[in-house]
């Protein structure tokens, strides 16, 4: 017996992932960032294979992550979650800074940010788990981080179809 709604009780944050496709800034929003080891400091992020950001990370071998603050507006989340970087520059309306590898990250309504170099990846079907060694990490704001539960329950946010946790007709 599998009640898929049991999975709704798993806890996540909300993160803007950034990468570079040639000269183009690409990015998306995910709930799947986590720390996997401390020594060396490594994080994982799980992304849909159809995302433009996934293809960019595979080419550049790097990604950034920005931890959204609870105060982040829905428009900012929606810009990164419900459009494709193929069609628009998602960063253009937000304060964007660049790491040492010239990969972009949003520095607005963001509690902390990190940059990682991909050292491993695992194909899990519709998605890929990227494991990256953290090369830069910085706190930016002392706001509370946005949780996925807060996004759904307080902000009334939806889950995009390409998300790991998407369930049809939810």
Give 7's DSSP letter: G
What residues between 17 and 36 interact with a second copy by CB under 8 A?
Answer: 31-36
The two three-digit tokens of residue 109, written as one number: 């309504």
What residues between 56 and 75 interact with a second copy by CB under 8 A?
Answer: 67
* Binding of a second copy by 11 (CB under 8 A): yes
The single residue among 16, 28, 57, 114 that binds a second copy, judged by CB under 8 A, is 114
* Binding of a second copy by 10 (CB under 8 A): yes
Distances (CA, A) of 160 to 23, 97, 120: 26, 26, 26
Query: Quick one: which of 62, 65, 52, 43 has its CA closest to 101?
Result: 62
The single residue among 2, 23, 75, 92 that binds a second copy, judged by CB under 8 A, is 2
For the beta carbon of residue 80, count every other beta carbon within 10 angstroms.
25
Query: Where does residue 92 rank: exposed (0-12), middle (13-18), buried (19+ CB within 10 A)?
Result: exposed
Q: Which is nearer to a second copy, 35 or 93 (CB)?
A: 35
Which residues of this protein are in contact with a second copy, per CB under 8 A? 1-7, 9-14, 31-44, 46, 67, 111-114, 120, 122, 124-127, 129, 131, 134-139, 145, 147-148, 163-167
């Amino acid at each position: 017996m599998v009640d898929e709604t049991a999975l709704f009780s798993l806890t996540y944050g909300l993160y803007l992932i950034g990468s570079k496709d040639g000269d183009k800034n690409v990015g998306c929003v995910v709930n799947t960032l986590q720390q996997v080891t401390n020594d060396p400091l490594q994080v994982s992020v799980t992304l849909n294979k159809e995302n433009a950001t996934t293809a960019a990370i595979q080419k550049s071998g790097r990604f950034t992550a920005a931890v959204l603050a609870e105060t982040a507006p829905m428009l900012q989340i929606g810009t990164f979650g419900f459009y494709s970087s193929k069609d628009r520059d998602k960063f253009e309306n937000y304060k964007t800074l660049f790491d040492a590898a010239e990969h972009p990250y949003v520095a607005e309504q963001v509690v902390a940010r990190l940059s990682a170099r991909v050292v491993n990846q695992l194909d899990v079907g519709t998605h890929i788990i990227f494991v990256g060694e953290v090369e830069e990490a910085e706190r930016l704001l002392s706001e509370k981080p946005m949780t996925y539960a807060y996004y759904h329950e307080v902000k009334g946010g939806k889950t995009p179809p390409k998300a790991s946790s998407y369930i049809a007709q939810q």
